[in-house]
Amino acid sequence: MRHPCLSCGACCAYFRIAFHWSETDPSLGGTVPAELTEKLDPHRVVMRGTQSKTPRCVALVGEIGVAAHCGIHPIKPSVCREVEPSWEFGRHSPQCDKGRIAHGLRPLTPDDWTDPPGLDQPSLPAGA
């Protein structure tokens, strides 16, 4: 099964991604590249591109709804790690649904997290 987020990217092009500036400071354990952010207020920064009327995070790679992913996934901001895709962990995610709907994508369902029948079963040799 391919993870639904790898063809989505909607939340990265819908929400303002704001978080504490310390996440960009390596001396404080921060991992987010500071050059990908801009100052929001004395305590917070935002990912570049997410403050505009038509937001799109500078770290988003690909086409929304087709093939999209976070270009800094392993070191993405805490607020991004907190957004759960709907039903991945057995519960609905209003944020996920809101972003998907805004981009013309249907909300995820529990069925999006199961493999179609036969995909996880090994094929039998001919004549078995």
Take residue 23 and report the two structure tokens written for it: 């996440």
Residue 90 is encoded by which pair of tokens?
């057995």
Please list, in sequence order, all residues whose beta carbon lies within 8 angstroms of the beta carbon of residue 93, skipping any fewer than 6 positions away: 83, 84, 85, 86, 87
Q: Give the per-residue pLDDT at 7.
A: 87
Q: Residue 1: count other Cβ atoms within 10 Å of its Cβ.
A: 10
Q: What pTM did the predictor assign?
A: 0.83
Cβ proximity of 110 and 4 under 8 Å = no
Asked which of 1-10, 60-69, 96-105 is least confident by mean pLDDT, the reply is 1-10
67 beta partners:
63
pLDDT-derived band at 53, boundaries 50, 70, 90 = very high
pLDDT in tens, 29-43: 999 999 999 999 999
Q: Considering only CA atoms, which of 71, 75, 122, 113 is closest in space to residue 92?
A: 113
Q: Where are the domains of the chain?
A: 4-113
| Model pLDDT for residues 73-109, shown as the tens digit of each residue | 999 999 999 999 999 999 999 999 999 999 999 999 9
